Structure 1
Amino acid sequence: MKKFIFTFVLVLATLSASAQYRVDRLVTAGRSALFYEDFVLSIKYFNLAIGAKPYLYEPWYYRSVAKFNLDDYMGAESDASEAINLNPYINDIYDLRAICRIRQQRYDDAIADYNSAIRLEPRNRNYWFNRALCQMEAKNYDKAQLELDTVITKWKDYSNAYSLKAEVYLHQKDTVQAEKWLDQSLKLNPYDGDAWITRAYMALARKEWKVADEALTKSLHFKPNNVNSYINRALARININNLRGAMSDYDAAIDLDPHNFLAHYNRGLMRVQLGDDNRAITDFDFVIKMEPKNFMAIFNRALLHDKTGNLKAAIRDYTTVINQFPNFWTGLSARAHCYRRLGMTAKAELDEFRIFKAQMNKHLGIQPRWSAKTKKEMRKRSEIDPNKFASIVVDDEPKYEHNYKSEYRGRIQNRQVETAYLPMFQLSYFPNTQNVSGVQAFDKDVEALNQKMKDKVYIVCSKEQLDENSSMKIFSLIDKLSAELSVAKDIEQKKAILMRRAIAHSVLRDFEAAISDFTYYLSLDDKNALAYWQRAVCQAEMDEFNKAQGKGVVNIHSAEADFSDAIRLNSNNAYIYYNRGNLHAGRNELSKAIDDYTIALKIDNRLAEAYYNRGIARAKSGNKQAGIQDLSKAGELGLYDAYSVIKRLNKAK
């Protein structure tokens, strides 16, 4: 009996350890998918982990992060709340829930979360700063000032606190104090783009256009992707008569945010002043498509149609505005002029008679016309006055893009967002929908594999996110293949199943499981280049993930050695050289990377991805001209993102 009980306990312990291991693997695979921004797939993994062990806080927490990145702030908040119920002693979860609540503009709730986070980690400067920022957003200006005083006492060199204090003083209409604190902020950190934006807003409010232009230029040097800064600098430049510079700023704003209302509207007005009428019509078409009842834009488009000779379109637009503003005599006069040019005298006389009656009425007087003075006038976006149809539009309130300081996103997605290399070529069960040439990548080993496999595989160079149906299909395939492998006796049959399952695991970003299957495969057949190639890709991806998590890179198998073995077995494969080039580029071994990309291009001179990555590597190694030539070739072959990189390189000093 004792022996039986001991055996039973041992089996239970083994099963428990196995279950724990499976949940750990699910969480690790989910975090890997999260790192590669495949948020739908990561949620699938965390769902499985939660289903297996709903009392663990980690799957709830990481699923919350995934939902946050999909802009599902309510769902993310709910999951974070569940994680807090399970483990109320993790300060990062309070931080995450606070950010979710901030996105929903529930600042008081976010403040409560930061209170809890600060109790757990009182030395975290970001929590104190974010709480003060929430107090300001909630219009608790006195509390915000007190909290910022505490932050400055604790961290005297923290320039962001000084600039935020200046912003709070601006809300309190105390510009003298605001300027004093802003000066201190810029003294501590003259490279703070946000502080220069605040300085610019103060200058714009005082109509100190040259000061605003200089401040925004400095801000854009440190924060080059801030759309509002380009729009505001354009406004300053119009007022110092730098029309070319203003137009360039509106172009840059639209490049960054193609749907920006202010940039399109004001660029349209600029084009009117510069005589570029047809392109001005295009801008106003866009604005009217966004806001079909924007009568100011409709009237401006009417004037342009009138000027370019499209009289029927002009009358149609004039009529739309006049129906809304029956006493808009400038519109009536313009429409009457169009009617006369079309020979519609009776209609023209009706409009002219309405104007004559208005002129006879001294209380109404004559409407002002478009003059040189009105070209520099401004109106707020919410202000609807047809007489200000030619005025540059500005926001009702200055727009501050506050950056809440949050640690958790940095740890999970600690990757560079600037000019980045394209990913490695790897196998997938799904074709690349964004293929450059429109033709699927080809390799003789992959073609031979497809002859033996039921499910066709493709060579892809993308990290596309899986949707719910796609991920379910692969999970089902893995279950089916695992069942087949458990009864397979023939070595060839085992190899085919292992290859298919390894690819399925890699598609689901479960790199550890994929590497395990490829390794098993290579123990049965060590002459297969495809297995070395794909194992190397999985190892490189896993190394990148581990490095981002702050872990040391644990090479189960050396990715570089595997790529070299794959090249030895298949030396005419451009994709493997390209991948090894990526490996070197990731280690900043630019010379080796360029050599591998060059060999890849000798094998396939139409491999746009290799031109693109070699262009970036050459630019980073200091050879900008050669880099631009490569990027230009990549663009010519259909990789159009290369042109925006060229634009960025040309702007860089």
Structure 2
Amino acid sequence: MRNIILIILTLLPSVAGAQFNTDRLVMVGRSALYYEDYVLSIQYFNQAINSKPFLYEPWFYRGVAKFYLDDFTGAESDCSKAIELNPFVPDVFELRGFCRIRLKDFKAAIADYDETIKYNPDKKNLWYNRVLCRMEDKDYEGAHSDLDRMISRWQSYSKAYALKAEVCMQQKDTLEGVKYLDKSLEIDPYDADAWSVRAMISLSRSQWKDADMQLGKAIHLKPHTAGNYVNRALARYNINNLRGALADYDKAIEIEPENFLAHYNRGQLRVQVGDDNRAIEDFDFVVKMEPDNALAIYNRGLLRERTGDIRGAINDYSAVIKQFPNFWVGLNRRAHCYRLLGMTGKAEMDEFRIFKAQNDKHNGIQPRWSRKMRRSVRKKSDIDMDKYNQLVVADDNTVDHEYASDYRGRVQNRKTDTGFLPMYRLSFTRYTNGIKSYQVFDNEIETFNRECRPRHTVHINCNSKALDATETEACFALIDTLSAEIDHSGSTKTSRGLLLQRAVAYIVTQNFDAAANDLTTYTQIDSTASFAYWQRAVCQTMMNEFNASQGMETELKGMRALADFDKALSLTPGNAYIYYNRANLHAMRKDYAAAVADYTRAIEIDPRLAEAYYNRGLARIHLNKKAEGIQDLSKAGELGIYGAYSVIKKNR
């Protein structure tokens, strides 16, 4: 018994250390996840899983990272493993349900939402998503049942009424659908999806002016949905607003370049307004998307014939005739083209086939096109050659819904409403802003590179890209090598250079706590190294932002970062990057006046510091000095930050 106790006591420190290391790996991985470095975060979670495969958290968070990399199959698998290890965490069921939605496995997604609703019955977004899954699965009775419970519980939730209306419409109960839609819009007249559904009803009733107005409201509220422009174009076409219809098709294609309906119908409208060459471009695109689309090929053939490309027209007519041997209108056009090229024998063969077809009572005679017929439309899947010059509508006119989830947008509900560009920090990659060859220069860092000759040159950067898997492995290997050398280092001078290199490697791999520890040791060796203080402040700030997102108090640690920036400036008062970084810290604390003062000082030292102009512009806008802010943003754009122009547009 005594020996057993001694063995247990001997193992306790290593067990505690392993647990601590695993917790640190998960925490650092979550930090990388928060800063959207997904490949890197997966590496940390892999290490945690290898160390403790029975913990559910690393499996779950690795699933989150895979989800953001669009690896929905891998994310679903990791969530399933996490559920196997701990079946009592509703967030894991919710994420797996969202993955299954992306994989079109709606029945399985419903099962996951059943589980998470069991734990969170008051979270209406879960009910909303389950209803959408039931609709996709054609379970209309189940959708009605869920919606009735939602309406009973959340009587002012407009989306529930809108979905109820849509289910009614799927069941062809338009009158009941209109009633629920009106209720939805009465509660929330700013619901773009509800206006889209209302417009669908108007389109189905050929109420073109109403549809135009309703889709206009939907577009105003949700301007980046291509389907709304396509549908409004149809309404405008039917009220003879061809210019407006063409503009809508242009916008739909701008938003969704491969939208079939927009390209096909724009081609048809261009034919009507005599813009033949550009109509050919649209039909070229459609035929590239659907090489066997006989209607598009025939339309392109007509246009090629009209624009003088006779051989191209013959090729198109032949492709259609191959699919529809008795399409005698196409035979007639091809015969005409053969005669234009002097190919009389082939023309006569086509004309004989036409004569035979005209006498075939089963085929009948090609009807003339009435004005009413020209105004009609065909379904996308309809391949009736009699409808070659009609506009196309979708087989099922439905509204695209956005599933409600915490996993849309940034991870961990990251607060980025300010939009300030990030701090300058140490890196192994050079700075570039995409336009000009401005390079960040710091005398201390250059001296370090010259004297210590690190394995990788150390740079200062504020726009480092996320690491890929190979780069991540290389950084981890570098950390291991440097750690071994530090352990066996015999001199302070040697270890100092190795410590800074390892600190940079930790910063690059988002392990800010470890980087801060190395920088602290560095300041103990060399208390005059300015960059060690301001880089430690950067690390502390990055940790604070992540910790704040987890609900932790960070005010005291924020003051610690500010003290480090102050210390760094006392050592090198002419460093523009430290002023810029300290300004960012002020901006994070919403002290915009102090931020503007520091950005201004940074610009005075380095008038080419584009990021300082950009961030000062945002800070001035926060201080309601819009004109000055726009002037700063304009200068930032001039110096190479493209995003400044879109911010200017939003603040005009």
Length-normalised TM-score, structure 1: 0.87
Q: 2:455 is paired with a residue of what secondary structure?
A: coil
Q: 1:442 aligns with which of 410, 435, 440?
A: 440
2:495 maps to which residue? 494
Alignment partner of 1:379: what SS? strand
Identity %: 54
What is the distance in 2 between the residues matched to 1:356 and 1:438?
70
Determine the structure 1 residue equivalent to 2:223: 224
Further displaced range: 526-535 or 170-179: 526-535
Instruction: Using the TM superposition, give the Cα deviation of residue 626 of structure 1 relative to its aligned residue in structure 2, in angstroms.
Output: 6.6
Classify 1:165/1:454 alpha carbon distance in 2 versus 1 (closer, same or farther; 3 Å).
Answer: same
Counterpart CA distance in 1 for 2:276 and 2:648 is 29
Q: Which moved more, 1:464-473 or 1:118-127?
A: 118-127
2:524 — aligned with what?
A: 523
- Range 374-383 or range 64-73, more displaced: 374-383
Give the TM-score taking structure 2 as reference length. Answer: 0.87
The within-5 A match list for 1:108-507 is 108-342=107-341, 344=343, 347-348=346-347, 350-352=349-351, 354-355=353-354, 357-359=356-358, 364=363, 367=366, 376-407=375-406, 412-415=411-414, 420-430=419-429, 435-437=433-435, 439=437, 441-445=439-443, 446-451=445-450, 452-462=453-463, 464-507=465-508
* Matches of 1:484 and 1:640, distance apart in 2: 43
2:393 partner amino acid = V
Residues 11, 397 of structure 1: alpha-carbon distance in 2 compared, 3 angstrom cutoff: same
1:579: how far off? 4.2
Counterpart position of 1:541: 542
Aligned-partner Cα distance in 2 for 1:482–1:549:
31
- Amino acid of the structure 1 residue aligned with 2:114: N
Residues 96/145 of structure 1: CA separation in 2 closer, same or farther (3 Å cut): same
- Deviations for 1:1-48, whole angstroms, at most 9, x for unmatched residues? 98x998865553333332222111111111111122222211111111
Q: Could you tell me whether the CA contact under 8 Å between 2:433 and 2:640 is conserved in 1? A: no
Runs of 5+ unmatched residues, structure 2: none
CA change 1:303–1:19 in 2 (3 A) is same
Contact 2:544/2:557, CA 8 A, preserved across alignment: no
Question: How many angstroms apart in 2 are the aligned matches of 1:617 and 1:380?
Answer: 53
More deviation, 60-69/122-131: 122-131
Write out per-residue CA displacement over residues 197-232 of structure 1, whole angstroms, 9 at most, x where no aligned residue: 221222222222222222223223333332322322
**Offset of residue 632 of structure 1:** 6.1
**Aligned-residue CA RMSD in angstroms?**
3.6
> Contact 1:336–1:351 at 8 Å: present in 2 too?
yes
What count of residue pairs does the alignment treat as equivalent?
648
Cα deviation, 1:46-94, whole Å, max 9, x if unaligned, reads 1111111122111111112122222222322222222222222212122
Distance in 1 between residues matched to 2:647 and 2:390, nearest whole Å: 35
CA deviations 1:523-574 (Å, max 9, x no partner) are 3334334334433333333233223333333553544554555555556655
Stretch moving more, 571-580 or 398-407: 571-580
8 Å Cα contact 2:440/2:461 also seen in 1: no
Gap change, CA 1:270 and 1:189, over 3 Å in 2: same
Query: Alpha-carbon deviation of 1:478?
Result: 0.8
Residues 27 and 45 in structure 1, CA contact (< 8 A), matched pair in contact too: yes
Q: 1:486: Cα distance to partner?
A: 1.8
Partner secondary structure for residue 393 of structure 1: strand
Residue type of the partner of 1:462? Answer: N
Change (3 A) 1:208 1:555: farther
AA in 2 matched with 1:540: T
How many angstroms apart in 2 are the aligned matches of 1:6 and 1:506?
42
Q: Is the 1:80–1:93 Cα contact (8 Å) retained in structure 2?
A: yes
Say if 2:41 is the partner of 1:28. Answer: no
Q: Alpha carbons of 1:264 and 1:55: their partners in 2 closer, same or farther (altered >3 Å)?
A: same
Indicate how the Cα distance of structure 1 residues 620 and 294 shifts in structure 2: closer, same or farther if over 3 A, else same. farther
* Counterpart code for 1:405: A
Between 1:367-376 and 1:46-55, the stretch displaced more is 367-376
CA distance in 2, matches of 1:357, 1:512: 86
Query: What runs of 5+ residues in structure 1 fail to find an aligned partner?
Result: none
Could you say if the C-alpha distance between residues 288 and 561 of structure 1 is closer, same or farther in structure 2, counting changes exceeding 3 Å? farther
1:531 maps to amino acid? A
Q: Which residue does 1:41 correspond to in 2? A: 40
Q: Offset of 1:436 from its aligned partner? A: 0.1
